[in-house]
Amino acid sequence: MPEYRRLAHPIDQEKSLSEKESSAFFGRVFKAFQFRDFRLMWTGACTSQIGTQMQTAAQAWLVYDLSKNSSFFLGLDQFLGQIPIVFLALLGGVVADRNDRRKVLLMSQYIQMSSAFVLALLVFTGVIHVWHILCLSVVVGIGQSFGGPSYSALVPSLVPREHLQNAISLNSIQFNLARVIGPTIGGIALVTLGAAWCFVFNGISFVAVIVTLYMIHSFFVPPKSREPIMTSMKQGIRFIRQQTGMEAVIILAFCMTTLGFPVIGFLPVFAREVFHKGPQTFTLFLSCSGAGAVTGALVVAAIGRLNHQGRAALIMLSVLGVMTTGFALSPSVAVSCLMLFLAGGSLMAVFSMVTTLVQMITPDDMRGRVMSVYNLALRGGGPVGGLIVGSLIPHFTAPITIACAGLLQIVLAAYFLLVNRRVAVL
């Protein structure tokens, strides 16, 4: 008896094709997740980052409240939290290139976890003052100055080189996914339970990343070295100076964060003084910015490595400037949320592209030192910008100050696109 093969119905064929395309898309976006250690590290870091973002939101509101609505103290807290990185980042990079980076990261996590619990205790007992918060911000900054270079150097050793762009984009997603979830949970906890519980939850969240650090195995563990620390530092700086475009990228990173990061730090000012709202609006702003950043990172992960990636990053920097200016001059909360969403996406696209450029140029044995300098530029700009913006807002108002920062971002992008083209040609 002859057998007849059933022909697929056109609708079934279309569904099958659509499913394959969807599967291929998600496989392309999340391809670094096929590696166990990266997957574990991503999960632990994301959990910890959610707690950190809860504390950041609650701490900003607490400082603003305790200081009687002082934007200067708000900027000073950001400055003191980042300034240890300026002085210790190079040393942290040398340590990352001489030791098991997992162990350095564990030390950093224990320091930050302890600081969160101490802050919670001070609030619970009712003895908290602004100076307590400022001192603990310095301690956390010291921990991060060693943890940052080690983490940046560790991530590329968890995936093959051809998946590095995707891993960096996914790493950006976990940070910004936490920026969406953390402030949302933190806002609820801040309103219903109080700031102290946000700090407790942050302390508990460090357990996740500590556990994953004990579980993962890196492709590369730096060899021990008896070389003088200053010699190792000089080698890292010499490498940066010899690489085409590397100095320009680091200068761009510093200027970009100086002008772009203060927007997030001064959202309490916009929520309370510009729109006359409370912590709910503040957390809404944070969530919109984080959601935009996640979207931007997903787009970059899907696109992958671009030709002329430096030029693409500069174009996105100009878009960031436009959106920052639009947020500063926004007439309503709804428009502000839209501008923050688009600004968050632009910022993360720039950050992911520039970070990939630096990581692709850098060899494993030099990665800790180079990334420490890059992180110094990237994170050092934030406190400088925060201090400047915090000083200017009382004289010129928040909208005018942030709008000027947005316009300067456009000027910065135009300069590197048209005048100094060392980044644009990468």
Task: Specify the DSSP class assigned to residue 5.
Answer: P
Q: Do 300 and 415 form a contact (C-beta atoms < 8 A)?
A: no
Percent of the chain residues topping a pLDDT of 90: 27
Report the pLDDT value the prediction gives residue 20, as an integer from 0 to 100.
Answer: 57
Report the pLDDT value the prediction gives residue 241, as an integer from 0 to 100.
Answer: 84
Stretch 167-179: mean pLDDT: 77
Model pLDDT for residues 238-280, shown as the tens digit of each residue: 888 888 788 888 999 899 889 988 888 888 889 988 999 888 8
* Per-residue pLDDT band at 21 (split at 50, 70, 90): low
* Per-residue pLDDT band at 422 (split at 50, 70, 90): confident
Of 13-22, 91-100, 319-328, 371-380, the range with the highest mean pLDDT is 319-328
* Per-residue pLDDT band at 360 (split at 50, 70, 90): confident
Res. 6: pLDDT tops 60:
no
Domain spans of the chain, in order of start:
31-216+227-418
The reported pTM is: 0.73
| Reduced 3-state DSSP string for 68-135 | CCCHHHHHHHHHHHHHHHHHHHHHHHHHHCCCCHHHHHHHHHHHHHHHHHHHHHHHHCCCCCHHHHHH
Higher pLDDT, 219 or 166: 166
* Per-residue pLDDT band at 184 (split at 50, 70, 90): confident
CA pair distance 341, 403, nearest whole angstrom: 16
Q: For residue 9, give the 3-state DSSP assignment.
A: coil
Report the pLDDT value the prediction gives residue 25, as an integer from 0 to 100.
Answer: 61
One-character DSSP codes across 125-171 = TT---HHHHHHHHHHHHHHHHHHHHHHHHHGGGGS-GGGHHHHHHHH
Which pair of structure tokens corresponds to residue 231? 């010699």
Task: State the angle between helix axes of 71-96 and 101-124 in degrees (0 to 180), rounded to the nearest 10.
Answer: 150
Stretch 88-108: mean pLDDT: 88
Res. 1: pLDDT tops 80:
no
Phi/psi of residue 147, each to 5°? Answer: -70, -35
Model pLDDT for residues 112-171, shown as the tens digit of each residue: 999 999 999 999 998 989 999 999 999 999 998 898 888 888 888 888 877 887 888 788
* Per-residue pLDDT band at 219 (split at 50, 70, 90): confident
Percent of the chain residues topping a pLDDT of 70: 92
Give the CATH number of domain 31-216+227-418.
Answer: 1.20.1250.20
* Per-residue pLDDT band at 2 (split at 50, 70, 90): very low
Report the pLDDT value the prediction gives residue 139, as an integer from 0 to 100.
Answer: 94
Higher pLDDT, 374 or 342: 342
Which pair of structure tokens corresponds to residue 203? 């302390």
